[in-house]
Structure 1
Amino acid sequence: MEQVASARTQGTSSSRRYRRLASKESVDDALFGRSVKSRDGDRSRQAGRDIVRGSSNQETEPPPTKKKNVPATIATVLPPHELSRIRGTTRILTDAEREAIAAKKEEDTEKLRIHARARKQHMMERAAEAATRAPKSDIEQIFDAENDAIRKRAAMLKDQAHDSVKLMKTLGARAAAFTIRDEQIKRKHAIEEVEAMQHEKLNVMMEIDRLQGLKRQEEVAEAKRLKRIRDREVLEDQIRERKLAKEAEQKAIEKEAEDMLQKIRDAQRDDERKEKEKFERATRSMEEIKRFNESAMARKAEQARLLALEEEKVVAYQRKKAEDARLREEDEARKRHEAELRCAKLRSTQEKAANEKAQLDELRAKRAVEARERAARDADVAREVKARKEAEELRISREAQAMHRQRSKVQEALQQKQEYESIIHQVDWQKKQFQDKEATDATKRASHRLALQKQIDDKQKLVKEKFVRVQLEGKALKQEYADELAKLERIRIEEVAELEEAGVNPSYLSEMKALDIAKARDR
């Protein structure tokens, strides 16, 4: 590739050295094999040969050559780089060759990148060395001094912001706080003693006031007791007078009650006689209703038996319905009996108030009973119609379900067959695709393995160089760690000395003195 590039560069530079000849066709006739026996024609031919060979453009006497027969056909002269380009474009490359060319280009690009980084690093190092060797002006020295002061201030602030320094300051502040707290406790004890003496005096004065108050309360209580005794005597006299009045009133009420009881006994005997007559009438009505219910139940049982013989498929359903109907009828009969009793009781009550309405009430009760019986018969007929309708709907529903199950089985069998054929076709297509892919991948892996191995070797070299740099950086970090520990120890000593000078109790500084700087720093 470099040869092709150099040939292209030489051909381009050689072609730029010459101007185009001003012939009629505005092209160099020597490139097309035209035979012109003149000096200009010889120079053109020589220039074309120089372009092809990449020679200089100085005019030299052409060596004497023998005359050759000029071919009658037209010939074309191409530079080498054009010939290479034409050959490269007309060649069909395989995938492996394309990948090899791409890997080669990537490798060349990586080498150029590494070389450029190394050259950039070298130039930066040389620029730094030149900057350190160059003499500094007064302004630069002033700026350097200011920068040194700023750096020292920043270093001091950084040390103050360190966690270990903050911990030591916290311990110092706590020791100072403990010392201040001790002084405050002493002052508090003195103040509490003074307050205790004052409280004792106040307690004695309050006790004297309390005893005097108790004495005054006892005097007031005695006066109230004597007043209550006088009031009680007056109340006892009033109670005796009222008791005598109530006894006289009670005797009058008892006499009046005896008269009322005699009248009530007479009224009760009349009521008992009338109730006995009404009960006999109600008993006869209940017997008639019971006979009617028994005949109705017999008819319904016969109808249920006939319906069970005709509709054998729903016999369980009909039995359940008949049982429910029987229970409802008994419940209705019980309710009718209770209603009759209530009606009889109501009639008796009404007869007590107005005997002329007894016949009308009895007629209304009878019509109500007949209306309830008609409603019961209509309900029985409606239930029988509903039972037949439900049986017919049940039969139609079962037939429809059987037809639906049969159609579903046929459709499911067809669908399973189609799915099976589709799965077989899909499996064959996937198998073919997998085989083609495996063959293509094998070819790519074989061609790509060499390029990967080359990249791995280069990366291993870079890893080794990086390992050496990391080792050097590790040594520098260890030294920096040791310097930092020494600086923190010096700060700890200075802080302890300042606190002792400030008057802090030395017993509270023991934790700060025993602090492990390394553990506090790594925490």
Structure 2
Amino acid sequence: MPGSVAAQSVGGSSVRSASRPYRTVNRNADIDETLFGTAHNKTARREDEKEILIVGKDTVTVRKKYDRRGPQAPKQDAVVIAASELNRLRDSARMLTKEEEIEQRRRAEEEYDDRVEKSNARKEKIRQMEEERKKNAMLADGTGKDGRAQKNSVLERAKQMLDEDMDDVKHMNQMMLYSKVVTIRDAQIQEKRNVQSEREEEERHLDAMMEIERLKALKMYEVREHERLASQRSGAKVIIEQIKDRQTQRMKEEEHRDQERSFVLKQIEALKSEEVQQVVQKKLASERLMQE
């Protein structure tokens, strides 16, 4: 396990440091050299070594060794440490890995949740016991009252039986019963009407909401169609403008070609006339030569 490896590495380093004497690196450092032990205090440390005796399962007894120098040696008191405390000190002194820290945190959370759950269970049990006690107290207080109430109810029932023997009382009871039935029936009818009215109101509200959503959708479609048509018209205008520009450019190019053509023709005519003049001059020159 990672914990055991860490413990072995720490233990190994402590063994190596104990077997090798400390070497002073800087004598001007502000460090107490006695913290690392010397040849003199090794003997004193061996004399002050403690012997650990495990007593039972839950306690550990730590005692100083018996001093053989004589009865003048001061008496040493025994130190008792619980085994759980010793294990806790060892665990806290050991370097934990990331997994062990997560596991330790998880165990602590589980223990806390367990304590909270037990505390809530105890509170619930105490509350139930208190309710049971109050209920028993009320039953104990009402025992005498129940006897008197039962006697009174018997007398009242006998009186009612005597009264019901008369026709007027029976008719009155029938009318009262009919009145109760009619009242209950009217209340039920009114309740049904209220439910129906609420349902119809809710349906009208839903219909109105659906109509509003439908009108919103139509408006949105109209806006989109208008934007599409506007975009098409704008695109058509752009295309028409492009066609006009191309036609204008083509006409300009035709005019330029016509101008170039006429210029070339003029140049050709000029060359021809110049050649004719040269031929005439040559002919005249040859005639003058012939005459001479």
What TM bracket, shorter-length normalisation? Answer: under 0.3
Asked which structure has the greater CA Rg, the reply is: 1
- More helix per residue: 1 or 2? 1
- More strand per residue: 1 or 2? 2
TM norm structure 2: 0.26
Asked which structure has the greater RCO (Cα within 8 Å, sep 6+), the reply is 1
TM norm structure 1: 0.16
